[in-house]
Structure 1
Amino acid sequence: MSARSSPAYAVRATGPATLVAVVDADGMGAFLPGALAHEGVRSVLVRSDAPNPHLANQPDLSGHSNGLDRLPEVTHRGDLTATADALRRFGVDRVVAGAESGVLLADALSAELGTPGHGMSRPTARRDKYEMACAVREAGQSTAACLATDSADEVIAWARGHGRWPLVLKPLASAGTDNVLFCRSEAQLRAGVAAITAGRDRYGGRNRAVLVQEHLAGEEYFVNTVSSGGVHHVVEVWRYHKRPVGDRPMYDHEEPVPPDDPVVGVLSAYTLRVLDALEIRNGAAHTEVITTGRGPVLVECAARHGGSHTPSVVSRFLGTDQLACLARALAHPEEAARGRLPRYGPRAHLRYVTLRSPRAGGPLSAGRFAPVRALGTFVELALTMPEGTVLPRTTDLASSPGYVYLGSADPARVAADHRRLRALERGDLYDGPRR
């Protein structure tokens, strides 16, 4: 599915990219230079001044060398002009974010270099969740009722006016489930505001305010897209399944939604309007939406590719993946403009399961996962912590040991192995080295 942007935005013709700067090629972003190379496009890496340490220190999820150490790298030290000049000397003709920490810098560098990027009338709306909601609401699209403030008293006054529980409390620039709280009382709100504003986000920035939002009841999805010259292409739609850990929502598993499911059309149309509202015109986006009684409502939209899906597995089961589509759109923008990027189509039932340690455990050891690999529907395991890390209890994505893909033509087998995996976790899977 592809669509042109709102007529309010001029579609800028773009030529093929030959050298792309990837800002913070961390996590799944480490796969992007390889996808670009497959399309004949070279890469240079940019290290921002505030990368996510949880991603920057992750092991190589590909299981083999990704070749990033052989690519030229520019370190941004706060001087935008200097960094742009360095990229100009390399001959960079595109800048993209490789992780959430690179979104604002990628936008600023694109504007400085004059390369195709996003609209810059309100760039902070692509990171600040309150600014994001305002931009989308002003474009006439449904968003959650919300307030941004550093005052617990203002949060409580807003909650009394709202009159419904629970409420969601989070940092303005949260990522994943970082400090996202479900609050069911004024006391929990007050404690949550104190905890969030006393801490820092995943990029080391001080949480100077909080976002309080209405709790949206409904099914939650994410829509991965690629845009080129203001033309948007829906790569894939997945449904989230979460289970709370204490007062926090936590991912359990997610599954792709067949493209002929009626909800895909509804979600896609809404998502493309969100992209226009946020002026996302060139690059990937990951948009989270909840279907409610009043229709689709935005959770948040990230102006970069999705953060945790292994491209080779997704392509094997869906026929394509977001990084491959992004690389294709950069190398062949004319195909994106004509709606000719690959379309996804599930070839078997696939389930992405987030690993959850129910208690603090022993040192992380890949050797302990033999029972997981022995599951009949096992596809792939990715550990997101270095070998030997002493495992904490899983309370959010940063404290999850990793994830597992399960796949089969029979969804009942996948569901049964999912239950077996959770039983292994409740047992001794994480308790210590196996001898």
Structure 2
Amino acid sequence: MAAANRTPTPNRPTAVLVDAYSTGNFLPPAFDRLGVDVVHVQSTPEPIAGMLAPDLGAYRSSLVCGDPAATAARLAALDPIAVGAGQEPGVPLADELSERLGLPTNGTALSAARRDKFEMIEALRRAGVRCADQVRAADAADAVAWAERRGAYPVVVKPLASSGTDGVEICADAGQVRDAAEAVLGSRTVYGEPNTAVLVQSYLAGTEYVVDMVCCRGARYTCGIWRSQKRLLGTRNTYDLELLVAPEEDVVADLIAYVGGALDALGIDHGPAHAEVIVTERGPTLIEVGARLAGHLDPGFHDECLGGNQADLTALAYTSPETFLRERAGRRYTRRLAAGVYASPTEQDGVVERIDWTVVKEIENLPGVYGVLLKLREGDRIRPTVDLRTSTMRVYLRAGTEEAMARDYRLVRELKDQVFQVG
């Protein structure tokens, strides 16, 4: 194992995190607060480019997995209490290592269905859970042929195993399907994996929701439900604002029950889950689900607005399952404040020559703004927004009333394009 910067603490138990990129960085401090050291396992020979890297200084040690059996043997010497995925690419390896070590595990039988979106929906279909029509196509011609045989547009074209609305297009005719499929097949996922096939699905008309849960021995706590407000940019439907739903709204019980059935179908009994669901005329229907933390997670923001956060609850479920089952199982979040997460779009195109920190501070000082995450630095390329990755900022909003939050949301929208000075 390659040593990281953290000195091991005697007599503390150890948990293992696989590919703790991005919001997975919130997991080490969550385990630390519960008195547990963490070891990091990287599933790929090289770090995954384009994702916020793990802070290895937060870990007792780290290693790169070449052979899962050998890695499991090395980890066994640490007598770990849990193995979990920090982000999407680590899900299959976390399943395998936890299974090999005899720890609480989602198992390997359905690992593919937790990463491959075609297999995911087929697992729901086999379990009798409402889902979209779909085809996995090896080339653009097969994608077009399926859409034409189906005879009902629009359809959705997307990669099999990416995220953040990467490569997702809503297509109104055969020509758009062909173009979208060719674009996917000629690219890689956000995790750097080649797209060797493309997914085409029936379009789900309705309101989109995000449902975040933590699972423990098959019991679940609902950390938060967010209503997604999106903007259609050409054939791409990109995130704009996610609004926290009051837990007493009628739709919440339906969403919790539906997502619970989807997680059962996918064998997700342990750890976090982040689901995207459309409530159609027929009822809630899954877009996709990841066995990992939510992408917009900010623990402090979630604690303030929801009375808890997915990272701390994940650590609790792995570290003290009896406590989790007693205090959280079958329950749901509270809504302490009106809350929203804004992904700011742009039409700017060029290189960021300067960030106007006066404008950033003006945004941060708005009473409804909890925090601002800039996604670009000086010298970075800025492009017109086509998906979640090409939004320029993430702004966390909360206020005592919906009206107050909406006012500051409008002010942020007015200021957003003054932040990045482009040449």
TM-score by length of 1: 0.89
Shift of 1:221: 0.7
Cα 1:186–1:46, aligned 2, differ >3 Å: closer, same or farther? Answer: same
Secondary structure, counterpart of 1:56 in structure 2? coil
Other-structure match for 2:272: 284
- Counterpart Cα distance in 2 of 1:198 and 1:404: 33
The share of aligned pairs that are identical, in percent, is 37
Supply the distance in 2 between the matched residues of 1:189 and 1:161 (Cα, whole angstroms): 13
CA distance in 1 between counterparts of 2:397 and 2:57 reads: 31
For residues 324-365 of structure 1, give each alpha carbon's deviation from its aligned partner in whole angstroms, at most 9, with x where no partner exists: 111111222013334535742111111111122222252463
Residue aligning to 1:354? 343
Aligned partners of 1:109, 1:30: CA distance in 2, in Å? 20
Q: Is the 8 A contact 1:223 1:288 kept in 2?
A: yes
CA offset digits 1:387-422 (Å, max 9, x no partner): 542322222222222301121112112112212222
1:411 aligns with 2:402: yes
Amino acid at match of 1:350: A
Answering whether residue 416 of structure 2 is matched by residue 431 of structure 1, we say no
Q: Equivalent residue for 1:10?
A: none
- The superposition leaves residues 102-136 of structure 1 with CA deviations (integer Å, 9 ceiling, x where unpaired) of 11111111122221110322210000000000001
Q: Is the 8 A contact 1:46 1:76 kept in 2?
A: yes
Contact 1:285–1:302 under 8 Å retained in 2 = yes
1:252 aligns with 2:240: yes
Give the CA deviation at 1:162: 2.0
Deviation at 1:301, TM superposition (A): 0.9
Counterpart check, 1:98 vs 2:98 = no
**Cα distance between partner residues in 1 of 2:47 and 2:264:** 27
| Residue of structure 2 in register with 1:14 after alignment | none
Aligned partner of 2:98 in structure 1 is 110
Moved more, 34-43 or 74-83: 74-83
Asked if the contact 1:150/1:193 (under 8 Å) is kept, the reply is no
Q: Report how many residues are paired.
A: 408
Distance 1:259 1:163, change over 3 A: same
Question: What amino acid does structure 1 have at the position aligned with 2:258?
Answer: Y
> What is the alpha-carbon distance in structure 2 between the residues aligned to residue 144 and residue 321 of structure 1?
30
Q: Does the 8 Å contact 2:139/2:182 carry over to 1?
A: no
* Contact 2:220 2:328 survives alignment (8 Å): no
User: Does 2:303 align with 1:327?
Assistant: no
| SS of residue paired to 1:110 | helix
- Partner residue of 2:5? none
Matches within 5 A, 1:1-20: 18-20=13-15
Find the counterpart in structure 2 of residue 383 from structure 1. 374
Question: Residue 383 of structure 2: which of 392, 411, 431 is its match?
Answer: 392
C-alpha contact 1:170 1:196 (8 A) present in aligned 2 = yes
For residues 432 and 161 of structure 1, do their structure 2 counterparts lie closer, same or farther at Cα, with a shift above 3 Å needed? closer
Aligned to 2:39: 44
Superposed counterparts of 1:21-420, under 5 Å? 21-49=16-44, 52-57=48-53, 68-338=56-326, 340=328, 343-361=332-350, 362-363=352-353, 365=355, 367=357, 368-420=359-411
Shift of 1:232: 1.9
Task: Please report the RMSD computed on the Cα atoms of aligned residues, expressed in angstroms.
Answer: 2.0
Provide closer, same or farther for how the CA distance between residues 70 and 31 of structure 1 changes in structure 2, counting only shifts above 3 A: closer
Specify the SS of the correspondent of 2:17: strand
Determine which structure has greater relative contact order: mean sequence separation of CA pairs < 8 Å that are 6+ residues apart, divided by chain length: 1
TM-score where L is the length of structure 2: 0.91
CA distance in 1, matches of 2:405, 2:161: 35
1:205 Cα offset (Å): 1.3
Distance 2:297 2:239 in 1: 14
CA distance in 2, matches of 1:384, 1:26: 15
Q: 1:88 & 1:413 partners in 2: Cα distance?
A: 52
Structure 2 alignment gaps of length 5 or more: 1-11
Deviation per residue, 1:24-69 (Å, 9 max, x gap): 12111101110111112221111220754222359xxxxxxxx641
Distance change in 2, residues 1:364/1:224 (3 Å): farther
Bigger CA drift: 386-395 or 110-119?
A: 386-395
Where 1:54 maps in the other structure, the secondary structure is coil
Judging changes above 3 Å, is the alpha-carbon distance between structure 1 residues 403 and 366 closer, same or farther for their aligned structure 2 residues? farther
Deviations 1:216-243 (A, max 9, x none): 1111111111111122222211111110
For residue 313 of structure 1, report the CA deviation from its aligned partner: 0.6
Query: What amino acid does structure 2 have at the position aligned with 1:429?
Result: V
Which deviates more from structure 2 when the two are superposed, residues 376-385 or residues 145-154?
376-385
User: Is 136-145 or 328-337 further displaced after alignment?
Assistant: 328-337
Cα offset, 1:184, TM superposition:
1.2
What is the aligned partner in structure 2 of residue 5 from structure 1? none
What is the distance in 2 between the residues matched to 1:73 and 1:244? 44
Amino acid at match of 2:51: L
Q: Distance in 2 between matches of 1:174 and 1:70?
A: 27
Letter in 2 for 1:378: V
Amino acid at match of 2:344: L
C-alpha distance in 2 between matches for 1:51 and 1:214: 35
Residue 373 of structure 2 aligns to a residue whose secondary structure is strand
Cα separation, 2, equivalents of 1:365 and 1:182 = 34
What is the Cα deviation at residue 85 of structure 1? Answer: 2.1
Quote the Cα distance in structure 2 between the aligned partners of 1:370 and 1:122: 47
Give, in angstroms, the shift of residue 374 of structure 1: 3.2
Distance (whole Å) between structure 1 residues aligned to residue 47 and residue 127 of structure 2: 31
Aligned partner letter, 1:81? A
1:160-214 Cα shifts (integer Å, max 9, x gaps) = 2222221110011021111111111111111111111111111221101000011
Distance 1:41 1:386, change over 3 A: farther
